[in-house]
Structure 1
Amino acid sequence: MNSRLFVEVGLMELIQSDVTVVGGGIAGVCAALAAARNGVRVALINDRSVLGGNASSEVRVHINGSAYHGISPSYYGREGGLVEELKLRLFRYNPLYNKKLMYSVSDAVLLDLVYAEPNIDLFLNTSIHETGMEGGRVAWVEGLQLASERKFRFESPYFIDCSGDGIVAYQAGAAYRRGREASSEFDESLAPEEADSYTMGDTILFQTREESFKVPFRRPDFAYDITKLSFFENLKKGLNSRALPRKLGNLGGLWWLEYGGQLDVIGDNEEITLELRKLVYGIWDYIKNSGEYDNVDHLILDYVCPIPGKRESRRFIGDYTLSQKDLTEKPPLPDAVAVGGWAMDLHAAKGIYDEAPATAFHFVPGLYNIPLRSLYARDVPNLLLAGRNISASHVAFGSTRVMATCGCMGQAVGTAAALCVGYGTDPALVGRDRVSELQARLLRDGQTIMGMREETDPYFTSGLTVRASSQRRYSNESGTETAPLDGGLCLVLPVCTDRAESVEIRVKNGGNSSEQLQVTVYGGERKETYIPGPELKRCSLDIAPGYDGWVQLELGCERPADDKVYLVLEGSAELSVYCNEDKPVGAVSFLYRPEYPARVRKWDKSICYRNMRPEQNMYAPGHVVNGYSRPYGLPNVWISARREEAGEPDWLELAFAEPKSLEELQLVFNSQLDLEHFDHPIGPLIKEYNILLTLADGSERLIEVRDNYLSLNKHKLDAERVTTIRLEFLATYGWPYYEVFAVKLYAPKA
């Protein structure tokens, strides 16, 4: 169809498009962008005046996801694709976003993305109130835009429900779940023994600000005196994961100030909202006027969100219901289209009034895949789903509900909808007959699908050579400080040879007697995670008093299943290991904490090492065309030598044995995927570079890129008879290396 039609029918305006997306949160924005960028006309409908849903200025929640606050057991856990682009754009235009300030700028970033896309027609302040069905399919939805007194009927062959509560799916009569399933239904150890109707509740966040003058506060008459409420004494004591903060200043709200899970979170919405307002103003009154807090005279209650952030309501049933074991055991899912990785974060049903802890974070072992079969309604053939309304059990939903994961699902269904339009087929059939094409499109657009790599066209790989100006050694030698080993540290080293025989680390004994360095070598079992598995070897070394130098650790093991060896180093407070703030890709250092499920915890330092035997060609230029765009077992990256060592500007060069036609070139740079959020420029990200194409007739074509801030850079070239591609790197955001995960080549369509 690829057309838009406005027809006034009485007082109703008819909007026709290829795909209608209902809901303008992160899932809906990503769904609309993905569909539109894949060439179809999209109507995007949102019932609020701004985009972003819970991430908007109206609700003010961070866009969290599979990186799990930067402590994911996958380490390189942040999502790719549109969610990655969105986070980088948010930082670019609004560096204070992650400090819970200036959310209005974030609203503008989302609007900017949507307004810049010519294939999207945006309808804000438009509430869907009726859904029309023909032959069991959604034929249209009708919406009211109250401020403009306009009525719309939206018609399209395919619909995507990203509305959170699933308003279209509900009105279409799609089957859904609500509440908590019994543990027996999906064999879930975290589910209750008997099913019930409890959901997670809502929260109203608020913003405080410090002024230069005293600001009084008077509690509104409708608000609670919280000292008279049942939870007050436990709150004062900081029990059950709920505690009033002692440091206030620019406070961004209290996530555990939650209510409504024991009610109908849709039908009782107004009652829940009023209760939360009573609580917010009551708690602020206590902070300001109880006399229990110092330095609050200059604090003002700057902003109270007008609507609650909702966590859970309806979950619609697809052809597959994602459950606890899909997250923990990770069975193969042939129609995988997105990833998650947040903990199974299950909140107490009665919220602030519950005697149980506010939430329980249940361990998820790193990235897991989400199948397309969970992202459409099984009984409404043309209706796709993304966000918190997908086909998942309550337990699995505790992980999938966070917004970055919802955005990944949005990109998946938006892309799937474009395929549906192109082939005139339905989502279930795309998942059955065209899933490889869907996955290929998603990978091309930067989507992360755990364990999947993008196959390079043999047209390019035949006779291809890849060279570079320099290459980083697989070592980290310049120790700038020492860290004691009384708490235990873990150095993880990827291995690309059949065996790992030995490696050297630098230690220091600051005591007056000999100290023992205890070394335990573990292997791992899953390439996407950094979790020690089976013990491979245990040994100890005597370190003489006053010794300060390198020692060789004998590994003597075959390469583990996850391509990594884990060296746990333990000793006394007098015995230390050298470290620095460098971050060699793949070679990760952790605090060793065996009491935690992952047995490791993130650390902001890197242990020094050198001379791994056999030698590991870990950062070779050829890795940029191996199909991976991030670490997976191995680092899958080319890294230059340090720039002060390299001398001339660094470069990568791809040369073809025969001239090639090149429609598009993509470059994937290192944007520190171990971070969930970032408040400073991403050091390794390449800021300035040139692309130099040499053609068969000897002529050259130069593309200069300055002030880049994205990790995935797409260049439409439409070049004929290319013999050489030379990439010249000129500047990063402060990193002494150039780091490139992928150079992706695409030929013109036949």
Structure 2
Amino acid sequence: MMIEERKKSRSFQQKIIASDLVVVGGGLAGTCCAITAAREGIKVTLVQDRPVLGGNASSEVRLWVLGATSHMGNNNRWSREGGVIDEILVENLYRNPEGNAVIFDTVVLDKVVSEPNITLLLNTAAIEVEKNPDDTIASVKAFCSQNSVEYVLKAPLFCDASGDGVLGFLSGAAFRMGAESRDELGEKFAPSKDYGELLGHSLYFYSKDTGKPVNFVPPSYALKDITAIPRYRKFNSKEYGCNLWWIEYGGRLDTVHETEAIKWELWRVVYGVWNHIKNSGEFPEARNLTLEWVGTIPGKRESRRFEGDYMLRQQDIVEQREHSDAVAYGGWSIDLHPADGVFSEKPGCNQWHGKGIYHIPYRSFYSKNVPNLFFAGRIISVSHVAFGSARVMGTSAYGGQSVGMAAVLCRELNVLPSALGETQRMKALQQRLIRSGQYIPGFVLDDKKNLVHQASLSASSELRLNELPEDSLLKTLDPAVAQMLPATKGELPIFTVHAQATTVTAMQVELRTCGKIGSFTPDVLLEQKTIDLVEGRNCVKLAFKTKLPSAQYVFIVFRKNPAIKLHFSPKRITGVLSVFNHINEAVSNYGKQTPPDDIGIDAFEFWCPQRRPQGENLAIKMSTPLEDFGVENIRNGVARPTDRPNAWVASSSDPKPALQISWTEPKTIRTIVLKFDTDFDHPMESVLMGHPENVMPFCVRNYVLRDDQGNVVYQKTGNYQTMNTIRLHEPLQTKRLTLEVEHPSERVPAAVFEVLCYEN
């Protein structure tokens, strides 16, 4: 028993922690930043003011993680973010395809605590900053409410990923709050004062069927008159969780300092809504439902945005402007909400999509006036309009990874963040990011240390795609469908499809490509054909006159006609996809985007895949095979489909697919990196939304690596991850490395995007 005499005052216990990088904020941006840096060998302190990691994705808020894929509701094919955030989402899919938010907490925490270079401080809030005479941050004081310890965190570099920009605010970093005018940055979509200049907070609830009647007595603070919510008729007994994203409030208030007031108003709304569902008599199906969970902290959208050396703006997104210092990308729609939120007469959101993904430059990720301060997450240097797209968690996490790798280079070179803008340093940063699994549009991995570049390559087989065989599966041509195929330069083969017509009719067929190589909006019409069909089965041959100037995807489009059914194929192949001109209202996709003339947004059609178990390819034959699936793809520097599949794909008939990497002289190999296909087109929403499988059907599950004597160097069974990094216990001396893979299934041939081999 400890008895301490009375004192006039006391101080909390203090601990000093020194590291290379302090990251304030444990949402996905801060988490991915910390993991990326730690894996490259620097010491990181990760500070999170909540009991769990993940921010808005955690069980405290329960919003699904999304980024450029946008629920598969846009034209951004194969655009799911790579690197650490991909690893987290793939892991969550494997462990948690049902979308349990509590399990997602464990997935994220597991990734962090597995890194020995990370010191994690949960329930710890940054409260004070000490600066050096040169305006750099010297240390951050933080307090943990659970153990009453005050921490002094010292480092040469800091990253603010706190959402509200706590560290940036305390350090005096320049920031903005509210919308820029239309004139300042030339953004035609800049909102009016009537619409509002800030997005609000949201708070969700979950319900549960108990199997017996449940009464509900509302608390005194519940909203009494549900008709005060203009969209009250949209409430129903089936939707819960982040499907109710539009329960939003606070855009007219200070979204930092009035958060508690905003939370109370959201509680009033949620409990008033539940009272309406349970007690209005309009929802008899809710009789057995109970209110299982209500959020205790709101999910925040917008507050401070900090100024860097470049401010991302609407034109960057819509025009897909290229930046030489690109380190990340976005692809969510420009998604602005009325400031009055759930109390607004206006629609809950106003989404306008770009034709493809866009660059986010490095200059947007550090402070223009606090020299050793990075930003990550929704607080980076963007305009209010661009923020509407860049704010989502997949994009935020992707930027966090860029900052983590930038911090590594800053430590290695002993420079401050802005110094990485120099051409050669920027190239080094981009190459490190790409090697770690982060795709940057338009950039390729050019790694001189990769021994595969010195080797000759061969394979037991290479896919020569001459047919996607039909099955008994027929689908009505409603909506319109297009088959995406990777075509090489020059003439196209003759395509053959079979159409089943219920009456004499005509089938409209188009050949389209994209106006920008590497994007997937089929906005260039090359040829049109009208094919007369008889009742019954029709064999249709399509001979196009077009000669392609370069390798690219072509879209063979079959316009909507409910009198026609087309045959589809169960065969799925890496880099081959069918897309549909269907509607996805959740992301404001109504088949075609038709914006007003004066807001600076493009009009175009949406062509999107169907989710598995649907999404089969069109059954089609080619007079000459498509041959862009060769083994040379494993060293072309791109590890996902872009303007081509970028993968070695084995022939389906190959019983033992293998590729060989051979050198004229023995090589010393310590590290091998393999990159597989986990379907970058699938969004992998982290919570609420279930998934039909827990392993992507294209992913190689089982493989063996052998040396030149046939000895097994490494063997893996049950793989499900995109990137496999193999660190051998002892360096391997060999003139040949053979990778033997198994086909994922009889309907999916084995594919490998990339192989990297290093001496260290």
Q: Same fold (TM over 0.5)?
A: yes
- Could you tell me whether the CA contact under 8 Å between 1:338 and 1:449 is conserved in 2? yes
1:109–1:193 CA distance, 2 compared to 1 (3 A): closer
Work out the CA distance in 1 between the residues paired with 2:130 and 2:553.
Answer: 55
Work out the CA distance in 2 between the residues paired with 1:291 and 1:567.
Answer: 51
1:674–1:374 CA distance, 2 compared to 1 (3 A): same
Which residue number in structure 2 is paired with residue 446 of structure 1? 437
- Could you tell me whether the CA contact under 8 Å between 2:49 and 2:124 is conserved in 1? yes
Return the offset for 1:479: 3.4
Q: Which stretch has the larger CA shift, 630-639 or 674-683? A: 674-683
Work out the CA distance in 2 between the residues paired with 1:504 and 1:454.
Answer: 37
Partner secondary structure for residue 197 of structure 2: coil
Work out the CA distance in 1 between the residues paired with 2:24 and 2:192.
Answer: 36
- Could you tell me whether the CA contact under 8 Å between 2:488 and 2:550 is conserved in 1? no
Among 713, 718, 723, the alignment partner of 1:712 is 723
Among 621, 630, 636, the alignment partner of 1:610 is 621
1:636–1:173 CA distance, 2 compared to 1 (3 A): same
Return the offset for 1:319: 0.5
Which residue number in structure 2 is paired with residue 424 of structure 1? 414
Among 476, 486, 489, the alignment partner of 1:484 is 476
- Could you tell me whether the CA contact under 8 Å between 2:488 and 2:551 is conserved in 1? no
Return the offset for 1:701: 4.2
1:227-306, aligned counterparts within 5 Å?
A: 227=226, 229-232=227-230, 234-236=231-233, 243-248=234-239, 254-306=244-296
- Could you tell me whether the CA contact under 8 Å between 2:63 and 2:241 is conserved in 1? no
- Could you tell me whether the CA contact under 8 Å between 1:183 and 1:190 is conserved in 2? yes
1:516–1:32 CA distance, 2 compared to 1 (3 A): same
Work out the CA distance in 1 between the residues paired with 2:204 and 2:560.
Answer: 46
Code of the aligned partner of 2:304: R
Work out the CA distance in 2 between the residues paired with 1:273 and 1:139.
Answer: 34
Which residue number in structure 1 is paired with residue 46 of structure 2? 44
Partner secondary structure for residue 422 of structure 1: helix
1:562–1:367 CA distance, 2 compared to 1 (3 A): farther
Work out the CA distance in 1 between the residues paired with 2:159 and 2:89.
Answer: 23
Return the offset for 1:332: 1.7
Work out the CA distance in 1 between the residues paired with 2:391 and 2:315.
Answer: 17
Which residue number in structure 2 is paired with residue 188 of structure 1? 187
Which residue number in structure 1 is paired with residue 87 of structure 2? 85
Work out the CA distance in 1 between the residues paired with 2:748 and 2:626.
Answer: 21
- Could you tell me whether the CA contact under 8 Å between 1:59 and 1:204 is conserved in 2? yes
1:734–1:621 CA distance, 2 compared to 1 (3 A): same
Work out the CA distance in 1 between the residues paired with 2:84 and 2:629.
Answer: 27
Partner secondary structure for residue 526 of structure 1: coil
Give the TM-score taking structure 1 as reference length. Answer: 0.92
1:684–1:253 CA distance, 2 compared to 1 (3 A): closer
Code of the aligned partner of 2:703: Y
- Could you tell me whether the CA contact under 8 Å between 2:72 and 2:608 is conserved in 1? no
In the alignment, is residue 565 of structure 1 matched against residue 565 of structure 2?
A: no
* Cα deviation 1:696-719 (Å, max 9, x = unaligned): xx4734211122221111112363
Q: Alignment length, in residue pairs? A: 718
- Could you tell me whether the CA contact under 8 Å between 1:524 and 1:561 is conserved in 2? no
1:17–1:595 CA distance, 2 compared to 1 (3 A): closer
Which residue number in structure 2 is paired with residue 688 of structure 1? 702
Alpha-carbon RMSD = 2.2
Work out the CA distance in 1 between the residues paired with 2:307 and 2:735.
Answer: 52
1:699–1:670 CA distance, 2 compared to 1 (3 A): closer
Which residue number in structure 2 is paired with residue 115 of structure 1? 113
Partner secondary structure for residue 54 of structure 1: helix
In the alignment, is residue 133 of structure 1 matched against residue 146 of structure 2?
A: no
Ranked by relative contact order (alpha carbons within 8 Å, sequence separation 6 or more), the top structure is 2
1:371–1:516 CA distance, 2 compared to 1 (3 A): same
1:12-161, aligned counterparts within 5 Å?
A: 12-97=14-99, 101=100, 103-134=101-132, 135-161=134-160
Gaps (5+ residues) in structure 2?
A: 1-10, 583-590, 594-603, 685-690
Work out the CA distance in 2 between the residues paired with 1:546 and 1:95.
Answer: 42
* Cα deviation 1:45-92 (Å, max 9, x = unaligned): 000111111111111111111111123312211111011100011122
1:536–1:85 CA distance, 2 compared to 1 (3 A): same
Work out the CA distance in 1 between the residues paired with 2:122 and 2:466.
Answer: 52
Work out the CA distance in 1 between the residues paired with 2:460 and 2:634.
Answer: 11
Which residue number in structure 2 is paired with residue 668 of structure 1? 675
- Could you tell me whether the CA contact under 8 Å between 2:489 and 2:549 is conserved in 1? no
- Could you tell me whether the CA contact under 8 Å between 2:321 and 2:359 is conserved in 1? no
1:186–1:736 CA distance, 2 compared to 1 (3 A): same
Gaps (5+ residues) in structure 1?
A: 1-8, 237-242
Return the offset for 1:110: 1.4
Work out the CA distance in 2 between the residues paired with 1:300 and 1:148.
Answer: 35
Partner secondary structure for residue 475 of structure 1: strand
* Cα deviation 1:620-671 (Å, max 9, x = unaligned): 22212211100011111122233xx33x322222222332222321111111
1:381-530, aligned counterparts within 5 Å?
A: 381-433=371-423, 434-457=425-448, 460-469=452-461, 471=463, 473-485=465-477, 487-511=479-503, 513=504, 515-530=505-520
* Cα deviation 1:293-322 (Å, max 9, x = unaligned): 022121110111110000000000000100
- Could you tell me whether the CA contact under 8 Å between 2:650 and 2:751 is conserved in 1? yes
Q: Which stretch has the larger CA shift, 658-667 or 339-348? A: 658-667
Return the offset for 1:246: 4.7
Which residue number in structure 1 is paired with residue 216 of structure 2? 217
- Could you tell me whether the CA contact under 8 Å between 1:532 and 1:566 is conserved in 2? yes
Work out the CA distance in 1 between the residues paired with 2:31 and 2:472.
Answer: 45
* Cα deviation 1:143-174 (Å, max 9, x = unaligned): 11122111011000000100000111111111
Q: Which stretch has the larger CA shift, 553-562 or 395-404? A: 553-562
Work out the CA distance in 1 between the residues paired with 2:135 and 2:42.
Answer: 24
- Could you tell me whether the CA contact under 8 Å between 2:572 and 2:747 is conserved in 1? no
Give the TM-score taking structure 2 as reference length. Answer: 0.90
Which residue number in structure 1 is paired with residue 598 of structure 2? none
Return the offset for 1:413: 0.1
Work out the CA distance in 1 between the residues paired with 2:485 and 2:283.
Answer: 48
Q: Identity, % of aligned pairs?
A: 32
Work out the CA distance in 2 between the residues paired with 1:251 and 1:266.
Answer: 23
Work out the CA distance in 2 between the residues paired with 1:158 and 1:340.
Answer: 25
Work out the CA distance in 1 between the residues paired with 2:330 and 2:14.
Answer: 41
Return the offset for 1:15: 0.8
1:527-538, aligned counterparts within 5 Å?
A: 527-538=517-528
Code of the aligned partner of 2:124: T
Return the offset for 1:687: 1.5
Work out the CA distance in 1 between the residues paired with 2:329 and 2:550.
Answer: 21
Work out the CA distance in 2 between the residues paired with 1:440 and 1:12.
Answer: 41
Work out the CA distance in 1 between the residues paired with 2:194 and 2:228.
Answer: 27
Partner secondary structure for residue 600 of structure 1: coil
Work out the CA distance in 2 between the residues paired with 1:208 and 1:628.
Answer: 44
- Could you tell me whether the CA contact under 8 Å between 2:365 and 2:374 is conserved in 1? yes
Return the offset for 1:612: 4.6
Return the offset for 1:197: 7.0
Partner secondary structure for residue 418 of structure 1: helix
Which residue number in structure 2 is paired with residue 370 of structure 1? 360
Which residue number in structure 2 is paired with residue 199 of structure 1? 198
Return the offset for 1:589: 2.0
Code of the aligned partner of 1:602: P
Work out the CA distance in 2 between the residues paired with 1:610 and 1:734.
Answer: 19
- Could you tell me whether the CA contact under 8 Å between 1:207 and 1:253 is conserved in 2? no
* Cα deviation 1:351-370 (Å, max 9, x = unaligned): 11112111011112222121
Which residue number in structure 1 is paired with residue 599 of structure 2? none
Among 306, 324, 327, the alignment partner of 2:314 is 324
Code of the aligned partner of 1:106: F
Partner secondary structure for residue 601 of structure 1: coil
Work out the CA distance in 1 between the residues paired with 2:292 and 2:399.
Answer: 34
Partner secondary structure for residue 573 of structure 1: strand
Work out the CA distance in 2 between the residues paired with 1:301 and 1:592.
Answer: 38
Partner secondary structure for residue 556 of structure 1: coil
